[in-house]
Structure 1
C-alpha cells in the first residue's frame, strides 16, 4: 500500500466520521405531583423517585367554575429537602366561561410569592387549561399578557390537547410559551380507554411539525373508574372517591403498552421532543396508580415482569398464606392458586378469594378484582395443617 493511498484512505475515514450525526440526547423524565392534600406518604414517594425523575411539576392552584379558587396543600419542607427543580402548575378548568385575566394573573403571582416565602424557588409555571379551539385566540392573548408580567427567569409552559392540532391559532399560541406538554391520555370519551399508543405517537409527530419550541409528552401511570348513570354519560372517579352507588368499571393504563411507546420515542424521537412527564407520582396505597416500582421500571426502559408466588409463615401449626409479587410489574390478582398440604383440620380464605379443600390440596379461587403492586404482598387465607409443601404451589392467571 503506497503512502498516497494510505493518506487518501485516512482522509475518507475522517470525512465519513465527520458526517456521522451525534446521538440524540436522552429524553428527560419528569413527574407530576397532583394530590390536592399532601400526606406523610409523600416523603417516601419523593425519596424513592429521586433516581429516575429530574423535575417535579406540582399542582399548586385550581380554578373551578362556580366554586372559585382552591390551593393545593403542599408540604414545602419536603419539596425544599428534595431539591429537584420545581414547576408550579395552575389548573384552570376548561368549563370556565371566560378567563378574568387580571384575576388569574394576580392569583398566580400570589402563589409564587407564597412559595418563595416558604423557601421554594420554582423554575417555571405551567398553565393547564383545556380550552376549546374557538377560545384559543383569547387564550393566546392571556398567555402573552402573563409572559410579560412573569419574571424573565421563569419558564412558561402549557398543557396542550391533541384537538388543538386542527386550530389555525395553534402555531401562534405555541410561540407565546417556552414549551408545551402534549397530553395524550384521557383526551377522548373515557369509555374508549385512557390511552392508545399508536394514536399518541401520531399526535406527537403532528405536534413536532407545528411547534418550533421544545415539547413534552404527558403519559399516564394511573387508572380511573367509570360510574354509570341513567343518561349513559359516565362519571369519572379518580383519586378522590365519589359518594355514589352503582357499578364501577375500572380502567387502567397498561404499563407494557406505555412502555412500548416510550421505547419507540427513545429510539426515534420526533423533532423538538424534549422528554416525558408521568402522571402522576403514586403514593403508598394509591389503588388507581401504578406502583412506583413499576413506574420507575417503565421510565428506565427495564424489562417488565410480574413474578407471583405463595409464601407462608407458621406458628404452632397455624399457617398464614400470602400472595407476593416479586417482579417489577403490578399484577391483577390471579384467578386461581393451588397449594399442596398435609392433613388440615381448619382452613379459610380472606377477602377476595374462596377456598376449596380436597385431600392434599387447597384451591383458592378469586371472587373479586384486585391488583397486587410490584414488590408487595397480601394475605389470602390461613390453614392449620401438619405441613405445607415448600414447592407445591401453582398460580393460574
Structure 2
C-alpha cells in the first residue's frame, strides 16, 4: 500500500507539471506611464493624481514650450502637488514643428531656468523629453541639436524624444536614436485626421519596425482622448479638442476606442516588439474633460482588465414625484442607452430631459434617446421624471 500511494502521488505530480506546461504564459509586464498636458494646473489635479497612482509609475509633465509667434512659455505646474505625489517625473519640453529653426543657446537657457525653478520647489526630474515634430528632411540638424543639448544637461538627467512614424524611412534615424537615452514613438494623431485618430494595426506595425531600428529602450505614446473635426472654408478639416472653437459647422467626433487599445495592450504584452519598455498614455483626464476617457476606464485599460459597461436605473421619490437617472456601474465609458422603458406603471404625468424624449402608453413609459452622449464609468445622468402611484426597481428595462 505505501508503494502504491507513492506511485499515485508521483503520477499526480507529473500530471500537474504537464498541465501547467500547457497553460499560456502571462504576458510581459509593460511599464505604464502618464502624460499630464494641461498648461495650467487646477485644484482638481490633486485628486486625479491620487486616483492615478496605483496604475501609472511615472508622470511625464508638460513643462515648457516654444511656438513660432508666442515664443517661450512655461506651463503653470503646481510643483507642490507634483512633489507631494512622489512618483518619478519627466519634464517635457514642446518645440513646435513650425519653428523656423532650433536655437540651441536659447533652448539651453530656458531649460536650465525651468529645471532650476523645479528643483528649488523640491522637484528633481528623472528625465527630460524633447517633443519636436521635426520634418524628416531636417533630422540631421535635429540630431546635432540633441547632441549639443545633452552635453549641457545636468549629469544623470536622462534625455528622451517624442518620435514620429514618418521618420522610419530616414537613414538618419539610427544616429538620431543614438543621441538620446530613449524614445517615445507617438502613434496617434500622426496622419490626416480625416483618416481617423488612431489605427491599432498601423501602431503595431510601426512599433515592430521601430524596435528593429532602435538599439535603446522605447515607449509607445497611446491615446485616451478624442477630438472633433470641423470643415473650414477651404475644405481642410479644423481640429477641436478640449477648448471650444468659435466656428460654425457640423462636428465629426473622433474618439480612441478603449476596447481597441485594450486589445493592442494585450498583444504588446504577449508579443512585445524588441526594446519596447512601456506605454505612455495621453493624457491625465480631469473632471469636465469633454473628450477624454475617464480615469476609471484609462486605469482599467492600462491594467489589462476586462472592460464592461453596466447600466442601472435609479430614482428618488418625494410625494409621488420620481426623478429618474441612469448610473454607469461598469469600468467602461459608454453612450447612453437608446431606450429605457418602465412597464406596468400607472403615471399621471412624465417627461424626458437631457436628450431623452418620452413616449407614453397606458401601461408603459418609454424614454427614447435623441442624441448620443457618453457617460463616464461611475457617472450618472438624469433622463426624466414621472408622477406615479408607485415604481418598482424590477419594472425597468434598458436597451442599448
User: Does 2:178 match 1:175?
Assistant: yes
4+ residue runs over 6 A deviation: none
Counterpart position of 2:253: 250
User: Does 2:178 match 1:200?
Assistant: no
1:62 corresponds, among 58, 62, 65, to 65
Counterpart position of 1:115: 118
TM-score by length of 2: 0.92
1:281 corresponds, among 279, 284, 290, to 284
Distance (whole Å) between structure 2 residues aligned to residue 245 and residue 74 of structure 1: 33
Report the secondary structure of 1:388's partner residue. coil
Once the 2 structures are TM-superposed, how far is the Cα of residue 340 of structure 1 from its aligned partner? 2.2
Instruction: State how many pairs are aligned.
Output: 376
Distance (whole Å) between structure 2 residues aligned to residue 367 and residue 71 of structure 1: 43
Instruction: Tell whether the 8 Å contact from 2:27 to 2:270 is kept in structure 1 after alignment.
Output: no
Change (3 A) 1:354 1:329: same
Counterpart position of 2:374: 371
Change (3 A) 1:40 1:341: farther
Q: Deviations over 1:275-314 (max 9, x none)?
A: 0000001111211110111001101110001111211111
After TM superposition, list the pairs within 5 Å mapping 1:29-178 onto structure 2.
29-178=32-181
Instruction: Tell whether the 8 Å contact from 1:341 to 1:385 is kept in structure 2 after alignment.
Output: no
Report the secondary structure of 1:329's partner residue. coil
Instruction: Tell whether the 8 Å contact from 2:345 to 2:365 is kept in structure 1 after alignment.
Output: no
2:364 corresponds, among 350, 361, 365, to 361
Distance (whole Å) between structure 1 residues aligned to residue 120 and residue 41 of structure 2: 19
Distance (whole Å) between structure 2 residues aligned to residue 24 and residue 192 of structure 1: 31
Once the 2 structures are TM-superposed, how far is the Cα of residue 325 of structure 1 from its aligned partner? 0.6
Instruction: Tell whether the 8 Å contact from 1:340 to 1:389 is kept in structure 2 after alignment.
Output: no
TM-score by length of 1: 0.93
Counterpart position of 2:189: 186
Instruction: Tell whether the 8 Å contact from 2:333 to 2:374 is kept in structure 1 after alignment.
Output: yes
Structure 1, gaps ≥5 residues long: 1-21
Once the 2 structures are TM-superposed, how far is the Cα of residue 24 of structure 1 from its aligned partner? 7.8
Distance (whole Å) between structure 2 residues aligned to residue 369 and residue 228 of structure 1: 21
Once the 2 structures are TM-superposed, how far is the Cα of residue 363 of structure 1 from its aligned partner? 1.0
Counterpart position of 2:398: 395
User: Does 2:321 match 1:322?
Assistant: no
Distance (whole Å) between structure 1 residues aligned to residue 258 and residue 47 of structure 2: 22
Instruction: Tell whether the 8 Å contact from 2:28 to 2:270 is kept in structure 1 after alignment.
Output: no
Counterpart position of 1:311: 314
Q: Deviations over 1:150-178 (max 9, x none)?
A: 01210000000000001111000000000
Counterpart position of 1:13: none
Distance (whole Å) between structure 2 residues aligned to residue 64 and residue 111 of structure 1: 17
Distance (whole Å) between structure 1 residues aligned to residue 82 and residue 364 of structure 2: 52
Once the 2 structures are TM-superposed, how far is the Cα of residue 316 of structure 1 from its aligned partner? 1.1
Q: CA RMSD in A?
A: 1.3
